[in-house]
């Protein structure tokens, strides 16, 4: 998770939504061996010309299969911790007005996204970037589009305190809210037994949510095909995999997650049409980081639109063509694009039963957040025969 890669040619070569490529697949123009921008991509292989065995061997070398759980030795997994994290993930009480949960923007029933260009937070405000899928997010080399968080433990803290998202004022307010819920006190003690009565902390909240997120890695048909099951992918998907390799997408989209391993410049070969978001430069203040974003994972990409950091592209085929044009300098026709889209569909996870079921959350505590003042004692009765006391203000 925390492996750091060296910077090379302006990109960090080596962990967030997800959306497709914010800074996509391809090489810089000077590294492309003289390819002219705008050239036609090579025709994809047909079933008659494919060598499935050779393609599978190449795919194993390029991609591989992700683990069932992304472990973090500094935050060891336990059933109690994962159960607490799942409960917190679905609980809107982590937001200022009890309306927004992690699942609001990263809906597990919808492959970990809300399907909107940008997500609504407390009061209806919207963030400025697309919310990527939480599925496989623990395997990314950095978190968020600009990579400002090292891992999902750090990432889990950000939205809770973000004034546009969940809008809690500070870590202390989060802790006080959780400590007032007896069921959570019990769950925190079970998840962090070494902490005893001090288990309910902001850091432990983030660790629990991260532990749950580290389990959200359901396999896809591609994984079965890679393991030797020939009929797990259709002919178009296999041909699309060959095209994915031949077109050059693997320059950035490699490894078990098909990306999420480097930063890359958006508009590497041909300038991107929208330049409002300057990418990592906004975070680092370095001019060389302008328009660089984390290359996201392509797993579940067919289900996690709209695409790119701004969520402005709704159609996957259109997104694929944009990537080929701006990152590779290649123009794809509809046939070539269709093959690639068929392959990307084979990266859609097979979701197990109960995956998106929200657990029962602990009931609010018996003490309200703002207890009503005690009622004033009733005035003593006037002695028999005495004149009645006039009402106040009378």
Show which residues are catalytic: 165
Torsion of CA 354, 355, 357, 358, to 10 degrees: 140
Q: What is the CA radius of gyration of the chain?
A: 26
- Which segments of the chain are extended strands (E)? 7-8, 11-12, 39-40, 263-265, 292-294, 330-331
The tokens describing 180, both together, are: 């007032």
| d(C-alpha 285, C-alpha 27), whole Å | 24
Cβ partners under 8 Å of residue 337, min gap 6 = 317, 320, 321
Helix orientation angle between 52-62 and 235-247, rounded to the nearest 10 degrees = 60
Helix orientation angle between 182-191 and 171-179, rounded to the nearest 10 degrees = 110
| 117, 310 Cβ separation under 8 angstroms | yes
- Rounded to the nearest 5°, which phi and psi values hold at 260? 65, 30
Distances (CA, A) of 228 to 246, 250, 280: 22, 21, 40
Distances (CA, A) of 149 to 17, 146, 166: 13, 8, 18
């Amino acid at each position: 998770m925390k492996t750091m890669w060296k910077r090379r040619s302006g990109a960090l070569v080596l962990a967030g939504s997800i959306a497709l490529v914010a800074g996509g697949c391809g090489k810089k123009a000077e590294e492309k061996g003289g390819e002219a921008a705008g050239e036609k991509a090579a025709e994809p292989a047909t079933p008659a010309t494919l060598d499935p065995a050779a393609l599978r061997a190449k795919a194993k070398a390029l991609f591989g299969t992700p683990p069932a759980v992304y472990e973090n030795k500094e935050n060891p997994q336990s059933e109690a911790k994962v159960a607490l994290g799942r409960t917190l993930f679905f609980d809107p009480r982590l937001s200022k007005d009890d309306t927004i949960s992690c699942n609001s923007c990263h809906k597990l029933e919808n492959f970990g996204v809300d399907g909107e260009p940008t997500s609504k937070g407390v009061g209806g405000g919207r963030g400025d970037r697309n919310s990527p899928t939480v599925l496989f997010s623990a395997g990314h080399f950095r978190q968020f589009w600009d990579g400002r968080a090292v891992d999902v433990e750090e990432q889990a803290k950000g939205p809770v305190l973000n004034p546009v998202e969940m809008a809690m004022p500070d870590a202390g307010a989060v802790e006080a809210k959780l400590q007032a819920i007896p069921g959570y006190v019990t769950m925190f003690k079970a998840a962090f037994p070494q902490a005893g009565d001090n288990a309910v902390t902001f850091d432990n909240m983030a660790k629990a949510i991260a532990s749950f997120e580290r389990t959200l890695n359901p396999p896809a048909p591609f994984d079965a095909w890679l393991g030797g099951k020939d009929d797990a992918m259709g002919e178009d998907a296999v041909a699309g995999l060959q095209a994915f390799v031949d077109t050059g997408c693997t320059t950035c989209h490699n490894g078990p997650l098909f990306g999420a391993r480097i930063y890359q410049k958006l508009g590497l070969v041909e300038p991107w049409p929208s330049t409002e978001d300057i990418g990592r430069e906004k975070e680092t203040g370095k001019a060389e980081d302008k328009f660089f974003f984390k290359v996201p994972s392509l797993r579940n990409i067919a289900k996690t639109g709209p695409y790119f950091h701004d969520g402005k592209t709704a159609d996957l085929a259109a997104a694929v063509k944009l990537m080929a044009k701006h990152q590779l300098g290649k123009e794809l026709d509809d046939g070539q694009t269709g093959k690639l889209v068929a392959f990307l569909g084979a990266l859609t996870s097979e979701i197990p039963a109960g995956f998106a079921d929200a657990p029962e959350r602990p009931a609010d505590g018996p003490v309200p957040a703002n207890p009503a003042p005690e009622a004033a004692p009733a005035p003593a009765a006037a002695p028999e025969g005495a004149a009645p006391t006039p009402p106040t203000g009378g």
